[in-house]
Homo-oligomer: A and B are copies of this chain.
C-alpha cells in the first residue's frame, strides 16, 4: 500500500506554471510576482502540500537526522539523556534515530553500520560495556563523520565528549560511607573496558587510601555486562560476601548494578544498611520509594544529552572540519538516603 503525496509538479500542472516557478513562489523568491505567489501559496495550502524531505536530503546531502546508540533505553539514565537529546534536536529541526546495543559489541557494530548507511548526519554514542575494539568508530571518525561521545567515551578517539566527574563521584560516595563509619567498603564495578569504570575505581580507591583505610583488591568485582544480567551481579556479590572479612558497605557503579544489588540482598535476606550499607550510581526516579530508600550518585542525564546534541549539531553545521574538541565534565550529585546511613 502506498501513500501518494502531493508534489510541486502537481501544483505546477494545476496552475499552469513550471516547477521552478512554484518552487520559488513557495520559498518567497523576489523574482515571483505577488499575484503568482498568492495563487501558489493558496493552492499549496488547499491541497496540503508538504515538501518531500527525502528529495531535499538528496539534494543537500544532508538528512537532518542524527543517530543515537545507547545500550538500553529501558534504563533511567539513558531515557533521561534521550529526552535531553530530543529536546535540542527537535528544536533545531533534526530527527533522532535511536538504536540499542544491549551491551553487545556485535549489536553495536551492526547498529552503527546500519545508521551510517542510513545517511545520518552525525552520531551520539555511549559505547557498550562489551566493546574493546573501537575500529568501527575510529574509521568513521577518520573519514570525517561527526561523532560525539556521552557518558561512556572512548579515550583514543579525539572528538567532543560529554562525561561526568566519575572520579569525584565515586570518591564522594566512598568518603560518605567512611564518614558514616563504614570500614570495609567494596566496589561493585562495571565493565573493565569502560573508561568510566576505571575512573570510578580510581575515585573509590583514592577515597579509601586518603582516609587511611586499607585498599583491598578483592573488594572490587567487575561485571562485564554492566549489571544487565543478574547472574554476573550475583557471582560478583557472592565472591565478596564469601570473604572472611566481608564488606560492610558497597558502592555500586551503575544503574543496573545498583538495582540488581538490591535484588541480591533481598533474595539473600541481607539487611540494608544493617548488614551491608549501599550507595549506588543511579538515575532511578523512584530511588526514594525503595526499601530502604536508596542513596544514590545521580548523573545530570538530561543536561548531558542536551550538551552532547548541541556539540554534535555545531559540528555538523560547521563549514570546516572541527579540530578543537571539547571535553565537558559535569558534576555528579550525591543524594543521601537510608541505605547508606549508619544505624547504632
Chain A, 56-75, contact with B by CB distance < 8 Å: what is the 0/1 string? Answer: 01100111010000000110
B266 lies within 8 A of A50 (CB): no
* Most chain B CB atoms below 10 A, which of A58, A80, A319, A321: A58
Partner of A289, one of B54, B100, B291, B320: B291
Number of identical protomers: 2
Partner of A119, one of B52, B100, B291: B52
Chain A, 99-125, contact with B by CB distance < 8 Å: what is the 0/1 string? Answer: 110000000000000101111010000
Partner of A82, one of B61, B73, B263, B315: B73
Stretch at the interface among A27-35, A139-147, A211-219: A139-147
Partner of A76, one of B74, B263, B288, B290: B74
Partner of A286, one of B54, B259, B292, B318: B259
CA distance A5 to B76 in the complex (A): 36
- Collect the chain B residues with CB atoms within 8 Å of residue A291's CB: 289-292
- Collect the chain B residues with CB atoms within 8 Å of residue A289's CB: 259, 262-263, 266, 290-291
Within 8 A of B (CB), among A69-89: 73-74, 76, 79-80, 82-83, 86
Chain A residues within CB distance 8 Å of chain B: 1-5, 50-55, 57-58, 61-63, 65, 73-74, 76, 79-80, 82-83, 86, 90, 95-100, 114, 116-119, 121, 143-146, 259, 262-263, 266, 284-286, 288-292, 315-322
User: Contacts A1-B317, A73-B73, A96-B97 given; 9 further ones with Cβ under 8 A?
Assistant: A1-B321, A4-B144, A50-B117, A53-B117, A74-B79, A74-B80, A74-B285, A90-B114, A286-B290
Partner of A1, one of B4, B51, B52, B319: B319
CA distance A286 to B227 in the complex (A): 14
Q: Which residue of B lies closest to A107 (CB)?
A: B90
Distance in Å: Cβ of A144 to nearest Cβ of chain B: 5
A3 lies within 8 A of B74 (CB): no
CA distance A118 to B55 in the complex (A): 11
- Collect the chain B residues with CB atoms within 8 Å of residue A263's CB: 286, 288-289
CA distance A145 to B3 in the complex (A): 6
Partner of A83, one of B50, B74, B117, B292: B74
Distance in Å: Cβ of A254 to nearest Cβ of chain B: 15
- Collect the chain B residues with CB atoms within 8 Å of residue A63's CB: 54
CA distance A53 to B321 in the complex (A): 24
- Collect the chain B residues with CB atoms within 8 Å of residue A145's CB: 3
CA distance A262 to B290 in the complex (A): 10
CA distance A73 to B74 in the complex (A): 8
CA distance A4 to B61 in the complex (A): 8
Partner of A54, one of B57, B74, B144, B146: B57
- Collect the chain B residues with CB atoms within 8 Å of residue A95's CB: 97, 114, 118
A98 lies within 8 A of B96 (CB): yes
Distance in Å: Cβ of A291 to nearest Cβ of chain B: 3
Partner of A73, one of B5, B79, B99: B79
Q: Which residue of B lies closest to A111 (CB)?
A: B90
